[in-house]
Structure 1
């Protein structure tokens, strides 16, 4: 179902509520519209939680299949994007929890997708890029997710609490710990380089 890039088709300016009503009325155009509109964002979110492309693609597909399967009983929601993000987050965490041995750590593939924007910020230095990727990969999956939602997707702390299924204070705590870990790691790298180059 996931194709990597949106294909031509549904009007991406159509109101989400219209798509939702179409889904509830068994009109596949609604499902296709939401899929095309949000697949890229969902994929980026999924990769921030778990850097396993196949797993993320499967989970996105499963979210949409479940929505279609339960289309006659799903309730209206005032923020469909948040609903989709929360469903995907829950699905990925559930899958990761099923097999910690197989999905226990973030995949190195994450670097190419998630850190593209960071590469621009830190310049073309390969060493600095590598250090940044290692620092991000050192975060827990939940810390990684909250940083992605805050700084890549520009969600509010309140929205993130809904997506991740935790209270707002926990979001603040996760974000603070993640930033503290990143800062600490970069300070250590800086001290090492100063000592090495002295």
Structure 2
């Protein structure tokens, strides 16, 4: 599968920084953090509104990477590696918090997996359309199943290929295609104005 993944131009630079970071280059590590922090933060907002938790997870991720730099594998897909690692860490923390919250208070309304409104993909998909159309699209995307929302975010906001998304989500490429197909079909059927050709 890795042979068919297209590597973005800056990903080659990221791979060089990654190799230098693994060889104890602190400056390269700082450049990695700076280059991918915003991407990771934006991705994490798909899972939780808790900005402090997101910042903590990203900080923990980079701290863990620095501490384990000698054991970390070399990869030409640094962004995918980082997104996947953050996703795993974030979901683990969210599960722990959910379990703790449920143990303290039985509250069915306490949904820590709430997905923020998907504004980035709305902007990408809707383009120059009027605000009312954007609102309709945002509402429609928010009604998609969570896995479909995640695929839409990765595809249209992050610009990842289906192969890249499959690696991030630990699913087959065909599963990604199925999620996208179902999401687009549901969006086409639920929107009052036809945005898709």
TM above 0.5, one fold? yes
Q: 1:78 to 1:174 in 2, by over 3 A?
A: same
Query: Alignment RMSD, CA only?
Result: 2.6
**1:165, CA displacement in angstroms?**
1.1
Tell me which of 161, 165, 172 is aligned to 1:167.
Answer: 172
TM-score (norm 2): 0.74
Tell me which of 92, 106, 113 is aligned to 1:104.
Answer: 113
Gaps of 5+ in 1: 1-11, 191-198
Gaps of 5+ in 2: 1-9, 100-109
**1:164, CA displacement in angstroms?**
1.0
**1:115, CA displacement in angstroms?**
3.9
- 1:125-144 correspondence runs (5 A): 125=131, 127-144=132-149
Q: Distance in 2 between matches of 1:137 and 1:165?
A: 23
For residues 95-126 of structure 1, the C-alpha deviation after alignment (integer angstroms, 9 at most, x for no partner) is 33332734132235x54x55444564322x3x
SS of aligned partner of 2:31: helix
Tell me which of 19, 22, 35 is aligned to 1:24.
Answer: 22
Q: Which residue of 2 aligns with 1:185?
A: 190
Structure with more relative contact order (C-alpha pairs < 8 Å, separation 6 or more): 2
Q: Which residue of 1 aligns with 2:43?
A: 45
Number of matched pairs? 173
Q: Distance in 1 between matches of 2:148 and 2:86?
A: 17
The answer as to whether partners of 1:46 and 1:56 remain within 8 angstroms in 2 is: yes
The answer as to whether partners of 2:48 and 2:113 remain within 8 angstroms in 1 is: no
- 1:84-99 correspondence runs (5 A): 84-98=82-96, 99=98
TM-score (norm 1): 0.74
Q: 1:14 to 1:150 in 2, by over 3 A?
A: closer
Q: Which residue of 2 aligns with 1:77?
A: 75
The answer as to whether partners of 1:25 and 1:72 remain within 8 angstroms in 2 is: yes
Q: 1:175 to 1:92 in 2, by over 3 A?
A: farther
Q: Distance in 2 between matches of 1:69 and 1:102?
A: 33
